[in-house]
Amino acid sequence: MSLASFFAQLLNGLAGASALFLVAAGLTLIFGVTRVVNFAHGSLYMVGVYVAYTLAETLGRGPWGFWGAVLLSALVVAILGAAIETLLLKRIYAAPELLQLAATFGIVLIIRDAVLALWGAEDLLGPRAPGLSGAVEIFGRAIATYDLFLLAVGPVILVALWWLLERTRFGMLTRAATENRVLAAALGVDERRLFTAVFALGAFLAGLAGALQLPREPANLGMDLSIIVEAFVVTVVGGLGSIPGAFVAALVIGLTKALCIALGTVDVGGIAIAFPRLTLVAEFVVMAIVLVARPFGLMGRPPAAPPTTPIAEFRALVVPPGRRAAIGALIALGLAALLPLSGDEYRLVLATDILVLALFAASLQLVMGTGGMASFGHAAYFGLGAYAAALAVKHGAPMEAALALSPVAAAAGALVIGWFCVRLSGVYLAMLTLAFAQIVWSVAFQWDEVTGGSNGIVGVWPSAWLSGKIAYYAFTLALVAAALAAIAWIAAAPLGYALRACRDSPLRAEAIGIDVRRTQWTAFALAGAFAGLAGGLYAFSKGSISPETLAIPRSVDALVMVLLGGLNALAGPLLGAAAFTWLSDTLARATEYWHAVLGAMILLIVVAFPMGIGGALQRWLPRGAR
Amino acid sequence: MTLIRRLAAHTLLAAVAATAFSVAAQPIRLGELNSYKVFPAFLEPYKKGMDLALAEVNAAGGVLGRPLEIVSRDDNGNPGDAVRVAEELLSREKVVMLMGTFASNVGLAVADLAKQRKVLFLAAEPLTDKIVWENGNKYTFRLRASTYMQTAMLVPEAAKLGKKRWAIVYPNYEYGQSATAAFKKQMIGQQAGGIEFVEQAVPLGKIDPGPVVQAMLDAQPDAIFSSLFGADLARFVREGELRGLFKGRPVFNLLGGEPEYLDPLKDEAPVGWWVTGYPWYAIDTPPHKRFRDAYQAKFNDYPRLGSVVGYSAVKAAAAAIRKAGSTDTAKLVAAMNGLSFDTPFGKVSFRPIDHQSTMGAYVGRTAVKDGKGVMVEWRYADGGDFLPSDDTVKRLRPAE
């Protein structure tokens, strides 16, 4: 690579970084103040692109048309953001941490379907920016003028935000709330208005980023998810709440990717390494390295207040199951065992799915609810279990042995990942699990010879004695019931108590002689094993697996199930998995816009039962029945 | 156990009685599943195509004297959910066969389910070569021209140019990888003299066009082969034009002429690229004209390639049931082998050797006319002419 082309790639990387920074800046701003992990930020960005497209078409192709469209669409998105905050998020700020994540996930589903209904399925290529549609020669390489413009926009926005936050009263209040929102509220800062304003500002930046993307990318329905994960990564690498951090992180990631592409296929000691293929995971590798080295990101600071301030009510809910709960569980098991009598084969298929996902969700609840460690990459263990089982069968192992291997393989993976993760806390920990999960995913996705690449592995069927639907359902029911009982037992065992102690006060736990990291590490491995078992059962129930068993949507599904069911309710995962799976299945059949309806149902549940379905049940039932 | 048996026996009896009485009125149900929410740009026209074919079949009296019905499900774009909805279609909706799917991994998963459950599966859209070769099975048939076939349609033109250094850009998953592998292999086979390739794999839907185009420029290729589509293609075209990547370099783009991917580019559509696609506006063969007129009359919209695929899939299913004279799977599978049926592209048949249909694609060059991307100098490439030798196929496909 010549120096000139290296310089050109540097500019390319910087332009991409600038666009990414705009999205991440809004996200980090919102998180810093409201602590909302805003999963819908990518959707706001997508709305920005679509609105800008329509406005640019309406206002004409002149400079006023285009730049007017950019600004107006950012405003439209800001209003949309304010509406979402006022109508929805405001109602659930008091709920357990991360419940907002489930709510914003519901919004993602609704916005995607709304955009499909309003703008149609076809990609919409917007106009080029008037006045900036050409290219200039720099060292003999043509560079798009618009890229140079974007390159300048990033720093301008950075400075503008710095001014706003450091030099205005609004900024001072925002910083105060970022640092300690309880104290700020106590000093008379109107939290509610401030939150709305910050959310609108974050949404404005997302809309602006989207609108500015119009000349570079056709408006399409995949934009929301493809940007949100990357924006999260930038936010976390930079340090949550740190806008300069987000800027530096965007630069690092943008340049890493450009460099991977520029290097091409390189021979290293006789082995050809195709660097462009690494772009699939480049940002996650960067994130893993940064977080392992700096647990609070490049420029983040440890939060002044403890990361979790669980409300007493939610904490008190964690009570070991009593006798009546045990009887209830037995009755439920008995009823489940009678299901084959209904004669509807499909009901068994659906119930098998629900059981498998309930176990998966329960394993997540063990680390997240009892352990207080949110995991955004829980699919890694599910997928490892599924792949271990599938590969064992493909290499001639009997199905029973292969299934026994899944929890072992997943636990091994969880031990490695957990060793790094327990050194972190809060969202940083969650994002590090995501980074590892994505790295595992990309290995499965690219290692054709072993994992079948993007196609996955087919022909993973159970042994003859389990090939019937009833037999496999009964088998799954027995294993899942035993596993759920084991998880409930762990939560009530000394390990469970130690885990909760580490969650609620690591300092005090340490003081009474609990090895915090070791306890959390154990929980990780155990949860991994249970998730792996779920993955193995899943593989044999489907007959095939592919990298999607390891992918982000599966982790998100598990999160949503746990939150819907109730983070700290024992029956939560089962209820959450049942509600989510049954709803998707029924709605997909009933209506074309089933994503939107599913999203609306999630919002309803979240607002009506902030403690989840299980939490609400516990509250209604008499105390002894808990 | 006796209770279950008795129950089952009762249900069976009741079912037999019911069918005996109302066989004439009972529709024949086709179970269709696809990733409607994940790939709407292709699948909305596909669904319209299916609806049109269904209406035509039923207007002509249905099949075996019974109306045809399609039960459609969204597979959510992942194999796990696809297998679940397929189970639902089979056990609850009592469909006589499965059809549809889009992505390779979903298609392969459903194909394997079809083998396990011994039910016919017509894979309408998945392009992966494996579905008929490495992972082929007795029950699975594939309608569209595969990645290998469409690549083979472009290779003769590419080899004729005698270019030494090729830059290849592809989406980094099954389709792009196998298109790239097929292209390299066939080019080496057909072009005398040395030939070298430089590759850029981009994450699907997330191309970073600036660096990719820059890296391709730096590689100084003589010609370019791309299998990009959708938003990736649009971004690649815009950035490549801007930086002069295509100046003086022949470009080949698989699927680039499909209206789904060419139309969004409007007046910025590339000029002079070799592509496979579907020039719906210019094909005036009687079967296509009939199809196009009916489609436009029914939907007030022009057909996309997806429309042709959906339409032809339903026509193939109806033809198979007619030929089998029954909805019994064994008879349907037997009927599908060598089945000849009508499509807007003309008569097409399913090859007994690998269950691949001979449906072809249009090969031509891109141009811009009236502010829209079009295909010119096109010809129909019959799928049957672009498949490897029978010996090769036998070696690839597991024996039954």
Position A320 scores a pLDDT of 62
Distance CA A554, CA A548 (A): 7
How large is the average pLDDT for residues A56-63? 84
| Residue B45 to residue B307: CA distance in whole angstroms | 5
* Averaged pLDDT score across all residues of chain A: 88
The gap between the terminal CA atoms of chain B, to the nearest Å, is 36
Res. B324: pLDDT tops 60: yes
The mean per-residue pLDDT over the stretch B105-131 comes to: 94
Q: Transcribe A423-491 into DSSP letters.
A: TS-HHHHHHHHHHHHHHHHHHHHH-HHHH-GGG-EEEE---GGG-SHHHHHHHHHHHHHHHHHHHHHHH
- Summarize pLDDT for A283-306 with one digit per residue, the tens: 899 999 999 898 888 988 776 554
Q: What is the model's pLDDT at position A313?
A: 45
**Side-chain-facing half-sphere of A362: CA atoms under 13 Å:** 30
Check CB contact under 8 Å for A218 and B91.
no
Q: What is the pLDDT of residue A319?
A: 59
B1 touches chain A (CB under 8 A): no
pLDDT, tens digit, 9 for 90 and up, residues A538-555: 999 999 999 999 998 899
Chain B, 243 to 302: residues with Cβ < 8 Å from chain A are: 243-244, 260, 263-266, 268
Mean pLDDT over B150-170 rounds to: 93
User: B 84-143 residues with CB below 8 A of A?
Assistant: 84-85, 87-88, 91-92, 104-105, 108-109, 111-113, 116, 128, 130, 135
Residue A49 has pLDDT above 60, yes or no: yes
Closest Cα of chain A to B323: distance in Å? 30
For residue A57, pLDDT beyond 60: yes
pLDDT digits (tens, 9 = 90+) for B183-194: 999 999 888 778
- pLDDT mean over A254-271: 82
Asked if A456 and B105 come within 8 Å (Cβ–Cβ), the reply is yes
- The answer on pLDDT for A1 being more than 90 is no
Give this complex's ipTM: 0.87
Residue A624 has pLDDT above 60, yes or no: no
Model confidence at B70, pLDDT cuts 50, 70, 90, reads: very high
Q: Is-contact B135 B111, C-beta < 8 A? A: yes
> How many pairs of residues across A and B have Cβ atoms under 8 Å apart?
209
Residue A265 burial (CB count, 10 A): 15
Taking CA atoms, B117 is separated from A543, A560, B110, B120, B336, in Å, by 11, 33, 10, 9, 18
Distance, in Å, from the CA atom of B184 to the CA atom of B179, rounded to the nearest integer, reads 9
- The yes-or-no verdict on residue A454 having pLDDT over 70 is yes
Separation of alpha carbons A435 and A552, rounded Å: 10
When pLDDT is cut at 50, 70 and 90, the band that residue A620 belongs to is confident
* pLDDT band, residue B226 (cuts 50/70/90): very high
What confidence tier does B164 reach under pLDDT thresholds 50, 70, 90? very high
The more confident residue out of A192 and A518 is: A518
pLDDT of residue A625: 44
A211 pLDDT above the threshold of 80? yes
CA distance A623 to B78: 42
pLDDT at A141: 81
User: Considering only alpha carbons, which residue of chain A is nearest residue B88?
Assistant: A346
A17 touches B at CB < 8 Å: no
Q: Is the pLDDT of residue A3 over 60?
A: yes
Query: According to the model, what pLDDT value does residue A54 have?
Result: 94
The whole-model pTM stands at 0.89
Is the Cβ of A273 closer than 8 Å to some Cβ of chain B? no
Of chain B, the percentage scoring pLDDT greater than 70 comes to 94
pLDDT digits (tens, 9 = 90+) for A470-510: 999 999 999 999 999 999 899 888 998 899 888 888 888 89
- Mean pLDDT value across residues B164-192: 91
Return d(Cα A206, Cα A197) in angstroms, integer. Answer: 14
What is the per-residue pLDDT for B240? 93
Q: Which of A31-35, A562-566, B20-24 has the highest mean pLDDT?
A: A562-566
Interchain contact, B242 vs A144, CB within 8 Å: yes
What are A349-399's pLDDT values in tens digits? 999 999 999 999 999 999 988 888 889 899 999 999 999 999 999 998 899
Residue pair B218/B184 in contact by the 8 Å Cβ criterion:
no
